[in-house]
Amino acid sequence: MAATTAIARGLEDVIFTESSLCFIDGEQGRLYYAGYKIQDLAEHSTFEEVTYLLLHGRLPSKAELKAFSAKLASLRALPPSVIKQIKQFPRNAHPMSMLRTAVSELGMVDETEADVSPEALYEKSLSLIAKFATIVAATKRHREGQKILAPRKGLSHAANFLYMSNGRVPSKEETKLMDVALILQAEHGFNASTFTAIATYSTQTDIYSAIVAAVGALKGPRHGGANEAVMKMIAEIGAPENVSSWLAELQAKKGRVMGMGHRVYKSYDPRAGVLDKYAALVAAKHGHSKEYAILKELERQAGAIYNPKGIYPNVDFYSGVVYSDLGYSLEFFTPIFAVARISGWCAHILEYTKTDNRLLRPDSHYTGKLDLPYIPLSKR
Ligand SMILES: CC(=O)SCCNC(=O)CCNC(=O)[C@H](O)C(C)(C)COP(=O)(O)OP(=O)(O)OC[C@H]1O[C@@H](n2cnc3c(N)ncnc32)[C@H](O)[C@@H]1OP(=O)(O)O
Ligand SMILES: O=C([O-])CC(=O)C(=O)O
């Protein structure tokens, strides 16, 4: 491409398609799924209902939600080969790597893997959404040396995920907490992992391949992996009184505060506000939470430095405090994100197939040489 064409570094502000799934106002810190405010959905909805909203573009009736929830529940169980494979994973492998591999296996054992008809894609989407929670819970049990549990009848998606993860039926409060976390992370426009899924899917490959690619993209610490990095950062800081010296060191080495900053939000991420509220409740329940106290102090001091540059806490800043309370170690923070974001990935794939489904293929300015003489290997 000609060197005169402007480069959109990081593809910033590049609009490549239309979508009615998600509206983000990065200046005002507003987020909507299919027209509904994220705060309203977090307060009143469930993961099943939000998933229906994303896949269908509207909220379900009572009967539709019941049927949809039952359908998801019927798809939760994993094929035996996937369970067998999980049991053979090295216990210390990262659960995002386990998830990536298990999704690939799911595709391999699906005899209709390559069917990309709209009906098949919808069915495969529901199956993936249902099974992500089962896979992540199974990898948790495997890593902890515990028996892998089958899904239990009569539980919602969030409650069942907690049940399969921890081996006990969760309380109403715990289920609500998980529902909120899953709802907040279910969708966010063309973030790196969703874009990866669409770029992969645009080659007309199968949906499993696109989702494997998305899992890989979500794993990175600049994206979904930031929630795990936040917990490591908290451990490094150690105590609220160390925040100031830690920040000074970070600035000296031009480091980044994990869980802060966002490509789209140049103000407070509304999801961080909701999670802060729940993290505060969790901290209060335990009488005291050093982790939460460190985050609050970090938000205050880092805010004074970075807020003027448009860098504020994002969705990953407070989520770890909530996940820890629900019984998950830090390696599972990003997998929980994936259990939520699978709905957004599938919704975007389904939506993109309704467009002209054009192959995604950006370009670059060529800065190399041309017409170099080829010197045979023996003469180099
Ligand atoms: C679910 C999610 O994916 S939410 C994001 C999760 N990721 C994180 O929390 C990791 C920390 N944050 C970051 O790395 C960034 O804010 C990103 C990658 C998320 C988005 O940043 P971008 O829009 O691509 O901005 P970019 O990386 O170009 O940074 C712009 C400037 O802000 C600074 N900056 C951005 N984020 C931070 C941060 N968290 N701490 C300190 N400085 C930061 C950069 O150092 C850079 O400074 P410079 O211009 O002096 O070099
Ligand atoms: O939108 C983005 O760039 C990152 C993301 O996935 C989110 O914030 O949920």
- Say what the ipTM of the complex is: 0.98
**Structural domain count of the chain:** 2
Residue 81 has pLDDT above 80, yes or no: yes
Indicate the burial class of 269 (C-beta count within 10 angstroms; 0-12, 13-18, 19 or more).
buried
Q: What is the DSSP letter of 359?
A: P
Gap between the Cα atoms of 343 and 125, Å rounded: 8
Identify the pLDDT of residue 192: 98
Residue 4 belongs to a domain: no
8 A C-beta contact, residue 229 and residue 220 = no
Q: Residue 167 Cα, ligand 2 centroid: separation in angstroms? A: 31
Residue 325 neighbours by CB distance under 10 Å? 20
Rounded to an integer, the average pLDDT of 237-242 is 98
Q: How confident is the model at residue 5 (pLDDT cuts 50, 70, 90)?
A: confident
Q: Of the bound ligands, which one is closest to the alpha carbon of residue 222?
A: 1
pLDDT digits (tens, 9 = 90+) for 253-281: 999 999 999 999 999 999 999 999 999 99
Exposure class string for 34-53: b at 16+ Cβ within 10 A, else e? bebebbebbeebbbbbbbbb
Compute CA distances 304 → 13, 27, 54, 275, 310, whole Å. 27, 18, 37, 21, 11
* Active-site entry in 94, 188, 223, 262: 262
41 and 106 inside one domain: yes
pLDDT digits (tens, 9 = 90+) for 334-349: 999 999 999 999 999 9
Of 3-7, 108-112, 254-258, which range is least confident? 3-7
Identify the pLDDT of residue 2: 56
Q: Of the bound ligands, which one is closest to the alpha carbon of residue 190?
A: 2
Q: Residue 286 Cα, ligand 2 centroid: separation in angstroms? A: 30
288 and 349 inside one domain: no
pLDDT digits (tens, 9 = 90+) for 60-76: 999 999 999 999 999 99
Identify the pLDDT of residue 3: 63
Q: What is the DSSP letter of 90?
A: -
Is the distance from the beta carbon of residue 316 to the nearest atom of ligand 1 less than 6 Å?
A: yes
Report the run of H or E that residue 36 belongs to, with start and end: strand 36-37
258 and 287 inside one domain: yes
If you search the block for the tokens 């959905």, which residue do you land on?
Answer: 41
230 and 217 inside one domain: no
Q: What is the DSSP letter of 19?
A: -
Q: Which domain holds residue 274?
A: 226-325
Rounded to an integer, the average pLDDT of 126-149 is 98
Which atom of ligand 2 lies closest to the CA of 262? 3
Gap between the Cα atoms of 65 and 158, Å rounded: 15
Angle between helices 207-218 and 118-143 (to 10 degrees): 40
Is the distance from the beta carbon of residue 262 to the nearest atom of ligand 1 less than 6 Å?
A: yes
230 and 142 inside one domain: no
List pocket residues of ligand 2, CB cut-off 6 Å.
188-189, 191, 262-264, 314-315
Identify the pLDDT of residue 107: 97
Tell me the CATH number at 92.
1.10.580.10
Of 8-17, 24-33, 283-292, 297-306, which range is least confident? 283-292
Identify the pLDDT of residue 184: 98
Longest dimension (CA), the chain: 76
pLDDT digits (tens, 9 = 90+) for 371-380: 999 999 999 9
Compute CA distances 312 → 59, 73, 252, 304, whole Å. 31, 38, 20, 10
Gap between the Cα atoms of 192 and 303, Å rounded: 25
Identify the pLDDT of residue 96: 98
**pTM, 2 dp:** 0.97
Percent of the chain with pLDDT over 90: 96
169 and 252 inside one domain: no
Residues sharing a CB contact under 8 Å with residue 227, sequence separation 6 or more, in sequence order: 259, 316, 319, 320, 323, 333, 334, 337
42 and 162 inside one domain: yes
Rounded to an integer, the average pLDDT of 288-314 is 96
Gap between the Cα atoms of 19 and 298, Å rounded: 36
Closest Cα to atom 38 of ligand 1: 256
pLDDT digits (tens, 9 = 90+) for 176-190: 999 999 999 999 999
Residue 12 belongs to a domain: no
Q: Of the bound ligands, which one is closest to the alpha carbon of residue 271?
A: 2
If you search the block for the tokens 């398609």, which residue do you land on?
Answer: 17
> Is 262 noted as a catalytic residue in this protein?
yes
Mean pLDDT of the chain: 96
Q: Residue 261 Cα, ligand 1 centroid: separation in angstroms? A: 5
> Is 188 noted as a catalytic residue in this protein?
no
Exposure class string for 296-309: b at 16+ Cβ within 10 A, else e? bbbbebbbeebbee
8 A C-beta contact, residue 342 and residue 129 = yes
Q: List phi, psi (to 5°) of 309.
A: -95, 10
Residue 359 belongs to a domain: no
* Active-site entry in 206, 269, 276, 316: 316
Q: How confident is the model at residue 285 (pLDDT cuts 50, 70, 90)?
A: confident
Tell me the CATH number at 235.
1.10.230.10
Compute CA distances 56 → 6, 51, 137, 182, 350, whole Å. 37, 8, 27, 18, 10
197 and 236 inside one domain: no
pLDDT digits (tens, 9 = 90+) for 214-239: 999 999 999 999 999 999 999 999 99
Gap between the Cα atoms of 283 and 325, Å rounded: 9
Q: Are β-strands 30-33 and 22-25 bridged in parallel, bridged antiparallel, or unpaired? A: antiparallel
Residues sharing a CB contact under 8 Å with residue 62, sequence separation 6 or more, in sequence order: none
Residue 330 neighbours by CB distance under 10 Å? 17
Residue 3 belongs to a domain: no
Residue 178 belongs to a domain: yes
Residue 105 belongs to a domain: yes
Identify the pLDDT of residue 306: 97
344 and 277 inside one domain: no
Compute CA distances 19 → 117, 188, 198, 218, whole Å. 20, 11, 12, 21
Q: Residue 188 Cα, ligand 2 centroid: separation in angstroms? A: 5
Dihedral sign of CA atoms 353, 355, 358, 362 in order:
negative
Identify the pLDDT of residue 84: 97
Closest Cα to atom 3 of ligand 2: 191
pLDDT digits (tens, 9 = 90+) for 322-335: 999 999 999 999 99
Q: Residue 124 Cα, ligand 1 centroid: separation in angstroms? A: 35
